[in-house]
Amino acid sequence: MAVVGNGPVGQTAALLLAKWGIRVVLLDGRPERDPIGSKAICQQRDVLDVWEAVGAGSRIAVEGVTWTTARTFYRDRELFAYSLADPGRSAFPPFVNISQARTEQILDELIADRPLIDVRWGHHVTGIDQDGDGVTLHCEGRPPVRADYAIACAGAKGDEVRRMLGVSFGGHSFDDRFLICDIRADLPGWAEERRFYFDPEWNPGRQVLIHPCPDSTFRIDWQVPGDYDLEAEERSGALDARIRAIVGERPYEIVWKSVDRFHSRVVDRMQ
C-alpha cells in the first residue's frame, strides 16, 4: 500500500496497515518532520481508542492533560459549567490535550519500529495513475512508486492530491481568523478546565477559547478580524496587553504563535 501524507492521519493509517501485516510506503513532499506548535491538541476518546490499537493510545493519554470541567462564559458572566462523564467502557477519558508535535513524535517512534513501513520524505506526489492492477504515484524528481492501492492522507492543504483524484472539497471558509498562542504560565485552578468566552470585554464581539496543555502550557485561540496583523500587534505591545487580560501580572512565555483561518469543508467521496 502507498500512503500519501505523513501527518497524523497518514501515520495512523500506516501503523494500522502494518498491524495487519501489510507493507506500506509512506510518502510526504516535505523534507522532514517539522515538530512545531500545538495545532490539533484536543484528542477525543475514539481517537485514543484507534491509537491504542497501534500501541500509542495509553502513552498519549498518560502524557496529555485530562480536563474534567468545561466552563462557558458570556461577557463576564459564567453561563454554565459541566463535568465530563465517567469514561465508561473505554479505558480512556473523553478528552486528552497534548500538542500535535508530540503525538506525531510518538507515532514516528512506533513507525521507526515497524520494518513493514518504508518512510520516504521529499516525495512530492505530482501524478496518480490507476489501472486494473494497482496505482502508480509520480513523484517530483524521483522514480515512480507502484502499489496495489493508495490512501490519500494529504490533509486540509492537499488540494493538489484532491484535484488528481477528482475529489471536491466543498464547504465554507470563515472571514474572521484565529490568533493562536501556546503560553506557558502558572494559572492556579485552570489546569483541568476548558474555558470558552463569548464577547468578553477583552475581545469584544468575538470569542476566546482556552485549553490546558502539559507543562503548564495553555493554548489560547482568539477570534480576530480577517485583516488582523500579528506583527503590528507585537510591535505596539497590544499582544502583551491581550495576554495580560487573561493571565494578569503573572510571568508568561509565548511558546508558539500562529494566525489561521477556520474552514468547514468535506470531500464528496472517500473512495
Ligand X SMILES: Cc1cc2nc3c(=O)[nH]c(=O)nc-3n(C[C@H](O)[C@H](O)[C@H](O)COP(=O)(O)OP(=O)(O)OC[C@H]3O[C@@H](n4cnc5c(N)ncnc54)[C@H](O)[C@@H]3O)c2cc1C
Contact set with ligand X (CB under 6 A): 4-10, 27-30, 39-41, 100, 124-125, 153-158, 160-161, 180, 258, 260
Q: How far is the CB of 152 from ligand X (least distance, A)?
A: 8
Q: How far is the CB of 11 from ligand X (least distance, A)?
A: 7
Task: State which residue, 34 or 86, has the beta carbon closest to ligand X.
Answer: 34
Task: State which residue, 107 or 187, has the beta carbon closest to ligand X.
Answer: 107
Q: How far is the CB of 249 from ligand X (least distance, A)?
A: 28
How large is the greatest C-alpha to C-alpha distance in the chain, in angstroms?
66
Task: State which residue, 179 or 187, has the beta carbon closest to ligand X.
Answer: 179
Q: Are 195 and 210 spatial neighbours (Cβ–Cβ below 8 Å)?
A: yes
Positive/negative CA dihedral, 198, 202, 203, 204: positive
Distance CA 134, CA 119 (A): 20
Q: Is 64 exposed, middle or buried (0-12, 13-18, 19+ CB in 10 A)?
A: buried
Task: State which residue, 60 or 125, has the beta carbon closest to ligand X.
Answer: 125
> 6 φ, ψ to 5°?
-105, 40
Strand partners, 171: 265
Q: How far is the CB of 149 from ligand X (least distance, A)?
A: 16
Task: State which residue, 191 or 230, has the beta carbon closest to ligand X.
Answer: 230
Q: How far is the CB of 255 from ligand X (least distance, A)?
A: 13
Which long-range CB contacts under 8 A does 32-37 form with residues at least 24 apart?
Answer: 32/121, 33/6, 33/104, 33/105, 33/108, 33/121, 35/101, 35/102, 35/104, 35/105, 36/101, 36/256, 37/99, 37/100, 37/101, 37/180, 37/182, 37/256, 37/258
Q: Which residues of 126-148 are buried (b: 16+ CB within 10 A; e: fewer)?
A: eebeeeeeebbbebeeeeebebe
Task: State which residue, 153 or 186, has the beta carbon closest to ligand X.
Answer: 153
Q: Are 120 and 26 spatial neighbours (Cβ–Cβ below 8 Å)?
A: yes
Q: How far is the CB of 2 from ligand X (least distance, A)?
A: 10
Q: How far is the CB of 77 from ligand X (least distance, A)?
A: 26
Distance CA 172, CA 153 (A): 21
Task: State which residue, 33 or 114, has the beta carbon closest to ligand X.
Answer: 33
Task: State which residue, 12 or 203, has the beta carbon closest to ligand X.
Answer: 12
Q: How far is the CB of 43 from ligand X (least distance, A)?
A: 9
Which residue matches cell numbers 491538541? 41
